[in-house]
């Protein structure tokens, strides 16, 4: 069985996350985002690749959204209300609460303020959200008879979740965005250890190892304080949900300690509205926020005020949080145009910026001019400060998660191609796990392993612990490197004795050591092994647990008697002239011939135990006797070349010893026993 992963977005790029995974006939779309750096057809994933007929309800089992950021949910209303998908959509309760705010804010910015063609309306957003089935953390959801999913805490932003999906015995995890270290308002990602065929992980900071959180916070506070102390204005372009709350907690606490009276502003009502949800969903925040909630709500910011658009040119220092992040448009771009020409002001970029945005241009090197369009050029004289306050995990966090989960395969998404290549090589070389980094619209197919959980019967377990000694004689003339034998097999006594490391043969080893230590210079080498490879039967009954039983138990379970199928053969064998034995009676001749046969087979089959029981010989299930029947039903021929020197032997064996049987028959046919 294979798992096919079609990457429709975030393949070797950061933006429009969308991965369609097919597991044993079930097809899941993980995330349905838009690209913040494009305004043309590249903004949305190419949904036609899922179904040429655009019959998405038939081909998709469900859609799973990991969190409310637009690069993970921005295309969802378009996919449901314009493209026509009506199937189940799963996301956490906080994501369901906050996603409409983010989507409507984006719609207003792009349509009402920039005059773009409307991709989806407010009604589309509301109708889309009605299709959502909310899930709680670690709640197992049975999507249908075969597919089950489960959400795990991802940190990153409020309500973000990693999702586990299982179909039959194939299992995988899609991380979305996550953070492996806690911050001031969210905890670190948490997930159970599981047996996975596949892990699909974000790789935004594939090669970055961050400094300590406290060092980054001090650097940020110092830059902000220096700017406002000099009379400048600080613009912090950030999305209204996530880093805004993290940095507001940090600045509010610092303002209290330093007794600063300089105003801190939110740019719009969206953040105020979002803070209300943060207060309501306190159980999804960090442990520290939850512990102090009864005495003080961390989201009641004493020093943060609402900002009015008319205050852009007001004199005096201030700190302003403006949306959207990355300065990709909206109010943050409007403020940037007005404040960028002043050397007193500061633009601080707290997180990752997608290529194509003004934030990315500022981070790539301090420009003096930025062309907004063919008619607009921005004069950039302000200070630029970049700081990694991103809610994404760094390369160490990614490696820690991959090592913890130890999947059979890894697929990297949501990252820059050169950095993904480096991380891919690290995962393969350091962890020995095959890793892939597909581009957009590429499909990766991996094989999944079929495994079955089964109980074991007491008889089967007992049979597994029964010793299975084998004794092998070797000629002393054989050149054996005793050091090599000792290191490979665990033996330490002498070159004449090689043993396996098994607690059940320790006593035997000790006795044999004493025996052979006194005769190192003579006698054959004796190799003792205890190979315990046992055979059981897998029993699967309706309504009962799968069980491995001993073969003797199967007949009892079926209520049947034992039947044994044996193969038989009767062939001539030559012992030389019968003159010397004609005076013997029939019984004596048979005994003599069996003794000769036993010696010959023991010589040829040195690794087998040939037993002579007087009436017949036995090697494993193979039995051999002298045939006295004039007309034997198993005889292959009644013609013999030399009747005075021939007799017939009968043999039989079980199918399990078929190879051994034909080996013995070949020995008897090829060798003349007259000299034995």
356-400, pLDDT tens digit by residue?
Answer: 788 888 887 777 888 877 788 888 999 998 877 778 899 999 999
Identify the CA nearest to 575 among candidates 590, 560, 558. Answer: 590
Question: Distance between CA atoms of 493 and 491, rounded to whole angstroms?
Answer: 6
Q: What angle do CA 23, 30, 272 make, to 5 degrees?
A: 160
| pLDDT for the residue numbered 72 | 96
Least confident of 49-63, 226-240, 582-596: 582-596
- Could you tell me the residue ranges of all domains in the chain? 2-209+391-447, 213-386, 468-531+565-675
4-33, pLDDT tens digit by residue?
Answer: 999 999 999 998 999 999 998 899 999 999
> How many CB atoms are closer than 10 A to CB 19?
25
How is residue 154 written in tokens? 């991802």
- Using an 8 Å Cβ cutoff, are 623 and 660 in contact? no
Please state, in angstroms and as integers, the Cα–Cα distance from residue 408 to each residue in 84, 172, 446, following that order. Answer: 36, 10, 9
pLDDT at 130 exceeding the cut of 90 = yes
Q: Tell me the angle at which helices 551-558 and 458-465 cross, rounded to the nearest 10 degrees.
A: 160
Interval 406-434 mean pLDDT: 96
pLDDT-derived band at 80, boundaries 50, 70, 90:
very high
Q: 294: which residues sit within 8 A by CB, 6+ positions away?
A: none
Least confident of 129-133, 508-512, 638-642: 508-512
| pLDDT for the residue numbered 22 | 97
| pLDDT for the residue numbered 127 | 96
Question: Distance between CA atoms of 469 and 467, rounded to whole angstroms?
Answer: 6
pLDDT-derived band at 170, boundaries 50, 70, 90:
very high
Please state, in angstroms and as integers, the Cα–Cα distance from residue 151 to each residue in 191, 192, 663, following that order. Answer: 9, 11, 60
Interval 522-537 mean pLDDT: 66
Question: Distance between CA atoms of 54 and 347, rounded to whole angstroms?
Answer: 45
Question: Distance between CA atoms of 234 and 81, rounded to whole angstroms?
Answer: 40
pLDDT at 673 exceeding the cut of 60 = no
Positions marked catalytic? 202
Beta bridge partners of 548: 456, 538
| pLDDT for the residue numbered 470 | 65
How is residue 630 written in tokens? 């004039």
| pLDDT for the residue numbered 29 | 98
Interval 510-525 mean pLDDT: 48
Within 238-319, where are the H helices?
A: 243-258, 269-280, 287-291
pLDDT-derived band at 113, boundaries 50, 70, 90:
low
Residue 550 host element (H or E): none
Question: Distance between CA atoms of 3 and 200, rounded to whole angstroms?
Answer: 12
CATH placement of domain 213-386 = 3.40.50.10890
DSSP 182-215: --SS-----------SEEEEE-TTTT-----HHH
- Using an 8 Å Cβ cutoff, are 632 and 570 in contact? yes
What predicted TM-score, i.e. pTM, was given to this entire model? 0.64
- Write down the residue that tokens 């665990």 correspond to: 490
Residue 238 DSSP one-character state: -
200-241, pLDDT tens digit by residue?
Answer: 999 999 998 887 778 888 999 999 999 999 999 999 988 767
Question: Distance between CA atoms of 446 and 378, rounded to whole angstroms?
Answer: 49
More confident residue, 581 or 81: 81
Beta bridge partners of 147: 167
Q: Which CATH architecture has domain 2-209+391-447?
A: 4-Layer Sandwich (3.60)
Question: Distance between CA atoms of 12 and 19, rounded to whole angstroms?
Answer: 13
Q: 18-23 and 26-30 as β-strands: parallel, antiparallel, unpaired? A: antiparallel
Interval 647-667 mean pLDDT: 88
pLDDT at 578 exceeding the cut of 80 = no
Question: Distance between CA atoms of 396 and 382, rounded to whole angstroms?
Answer: 34
322-362, pLDDT tens digit by residue?
Answer: 887 888 777 888 899 999 999 999 999 877 777 778 888 88
3-state secondary structure 446-513: EECCCCCCCEECHHHHHHHHCCCEEEEEECCCCCCCHHHHHHHHCCCCECCEECCCCHHHHHHHHHHH
3-state secondary structure 148-176: EEEEEECCCCCCCEEEEEEECCEEEEECC
pLDDT-derived band at 450, boundaries 50, 70, 90:
low
- Write down the residue that tokens 């506070």 correspond to: 221
Strand order in the sheet with 617-619: 566-574, 646-654, 622-627, 617-619, 611-612
pLDDT-derived band at 288, boundaries 50, 70, 90:
confident
- Using an 8 Å Cβ cutoff, are 250 and 217 in contact? yes
How is residue 420 written in tokens? 């993904």
Identify the CA nearest to 76 among candidates 15, 34, 121, 136. Answer: 34
3-state SS, residue 299: coil
State the average pLDDT for the chain.
83
Asked if the domains 2-209+391-447 and 213-386 are classified in one and the same CATH topology, the answer is no
């Amino acid at each position: 069985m294979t798992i096919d992963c079609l990457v429709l977005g975030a393949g070797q790029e950061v933006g429009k996350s969308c991965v369609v995974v097919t597991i044993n006939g079930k097809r899941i779309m993980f995330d349905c985002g838009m690209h913040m750096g494009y305004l043309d057809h590249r903004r949305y994933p190419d949904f036609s690749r899922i179904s040429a007929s655009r019959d998405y309800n038939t081909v998709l089992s469900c859609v799973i959204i990991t969190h409310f950021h637009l690069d993970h949910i921005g295309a969802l209303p378009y996919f449901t209300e314009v493209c026509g998908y009506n199937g189940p959509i799963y996301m956490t309760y906080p994501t369901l609460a906050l996603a409409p705010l983010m989507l409507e804010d984006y719609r207003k910015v792009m349509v009402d303020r920039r005059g773009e063609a409307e991709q989806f309306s407010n009604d589309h957003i509301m109708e889309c959200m009605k299709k959502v089935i909310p899930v709680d953390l670690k709640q197992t959801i049975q999507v249908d008879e075969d597919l089950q999913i489960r959400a795990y805490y991802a940190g990153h932003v409020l309500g973000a979740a990693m999702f586990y999906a299982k179909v039959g015995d194939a299992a995988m995890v899609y991380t979305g965005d996550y953070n492996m270290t806690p911050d001031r308002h969210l905890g670190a990602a948490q997930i159970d250890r599981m047996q996975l065929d596949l892990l699909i992980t974000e790789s935004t900071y594939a090669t970055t190892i961050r400094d300590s959180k406290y060092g980054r916070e001090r650097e940020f506070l110092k830059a902000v304080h220096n700017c406002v102390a000099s009379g400048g204005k600080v613009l912090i372009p950030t999305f209204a949900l996530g880093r805004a709350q993290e940095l507001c907690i940090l600045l509010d606490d610092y303002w209290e300690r330093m007794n600063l009276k300089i105003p801190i502003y939110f740019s719009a009502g969206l953040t105020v509205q979002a803070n209300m949800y943060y207060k309501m969903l306190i159980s999804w925040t960090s442990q520290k926020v939850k512990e102090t909630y009864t005495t003080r709500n961390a989201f009641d910011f004493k020093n943060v005020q609402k900002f009015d658009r008319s205050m852009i040119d007001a004199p005096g220092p201030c700190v302003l949080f403006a949306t959207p992040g990355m300065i990709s448009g909206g109010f943050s771009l409007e403020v940037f145009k007005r404040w960028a020409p002043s050397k007193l002001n500061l633009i601080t970029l707290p997180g990752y910026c997608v290529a194509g945005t003004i934030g990315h241009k500022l981070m790539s090197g301090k420009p003096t001019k930025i062309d907004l369009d063919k008619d607009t050029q921005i004069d950039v004289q302000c200070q630029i400060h970049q700081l990694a306050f991103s809610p994404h995990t760094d390369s160490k966090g990614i490696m820690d998660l991959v090592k913890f989960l130890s999947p059979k395969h890894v697929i990297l998404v949501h990252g820059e191609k050169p950095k993904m290549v480096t991380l891919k090589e690290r995962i393969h070389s350091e962890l020995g796990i095959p890793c892939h980094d597909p581009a957009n619209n590429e499909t990766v197919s991996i094989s999944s392993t079929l495994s079955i959980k089964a109980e074991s019967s007491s008889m089967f377990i007992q049979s597994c612990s029964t010793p299975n000694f084998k004794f092998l004689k070797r000629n002393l003339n054989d050149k054996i490197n005793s050091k090599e034998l000792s290191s490979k097999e665990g033996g330490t006594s002498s070159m004449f004795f090689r043993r396996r490391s098994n607690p059940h043969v320790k006593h035997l080893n000790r006795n044999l050591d004493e025996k052979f230590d006194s005769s190192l210079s003579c006698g054959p080498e004796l190799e003792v092994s205890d190979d315990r490879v046992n055979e059981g039967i897998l029993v699967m009954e309706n309504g009962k647990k799968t069980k491995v039983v001993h073969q003797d138990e199967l007949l009892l379970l079926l209520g049947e008697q034992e039947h044994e199928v044996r193969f038989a053969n009767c062939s001539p064998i030559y012992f030389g002239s019968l003159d010397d034995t004609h005076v013997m009676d029939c019984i004596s001749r048979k005994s003599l011939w069996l003794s000769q046969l036993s010696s010959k087979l023991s010589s040829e089959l040195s690794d087998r135990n040939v037993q002579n029981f007087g009436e017949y010989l036995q090697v494993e299930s193979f039995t051999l006797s002298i045939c006295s029947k004039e007309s034997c039903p198993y005889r292959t021929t009644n013609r013999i070349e030399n009747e005075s020197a021939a007799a017939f032997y009968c043999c039989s064996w079980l199918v399990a010893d078929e190879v051994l049987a034909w080996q013995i028959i070949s020995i008897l046919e090829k060798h003349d026993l007259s000299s034995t």
